[in-house]
Amino acid sequence: MIQRLQKNFIFTLILFSLTILPCIGYAKTSINAKETALLKKSFYLLYLMKNEKGLAKNDLLRQIAAARATKLADAVSSCQNNGCLVTALQLSDTEINEIGIELSKYALQAKSFVDQLCSTKRYINFASANDADFVKKCWEANARAMNRILAVYVNGDKPAYPKIDAGDFRPNDPKYFQEIKKLLKSLSDQTKNSKTPAYNNLMLASLKILLMNGRDEAIRYEPLEKGWNKGAVKQLAKTDWQKYKYSVILVPGLGPEEVGLRLDPNGAKRCDSAAKRYFAGLAPFVVASGGHVHPNKTPFAEAVEMKKYLIEVCKVPSNAILIEPHARHTTTNLRNLNRIIYRFKIPAHKKVLIVTDVSQSTYILGKMAKNATRELGYVPYAEIKKVSATETEYLPNELSIHSNPFDPLDPG
Which pLDDT does position 29 carry in this prediction?
Answer: 53
Q: Are 379 and 335 in contact (CB under 8 A)?
A: no
**Whole-number pLDDT of residue 4:** 35
Helical spans, DSSP H, in 30-173: 33-42, 44-49, 59-78, 82-89, 93-109, 111-119, 131-153, 162-165
What CA–CA distance (Å, rounded) separates 374 from 238?
A: 39
Query: 10-residue block means of pLDDT along the chain (412 residues)?
Result: 37 37 40 96 96 89 93 96 96 98 96 96 97 98 98 95 92 92 93 80 97 97 97 98 98 93 97 98 98 95 98 98 98 98 98 98 97 96 97 98 97 93
pTM here? Answer: 0.90
Kindly report the CATH number that applies to the domain delimited by 227-401: 3.40.50.620
* DSSP H/E element including 394: strand 391-396
Query: Where are the chain's structural domains?
Result: 2-212, 227-401
CB 271 within 8 A of CB 321: no
Q: How much is the pLDDT for 20?
A: 36
Give the model's pLDDT for residue 54: 87
8 Å CB contact between 291 and 302:
yes
**pLDDT, position 194:** 67
> DSSP letter at 92?
P
Q: Count helices and strands (H / E) in the chain.
A: 17, 6
Tell me if 380 sits within 8 A of 334, measured CB to CB: yes
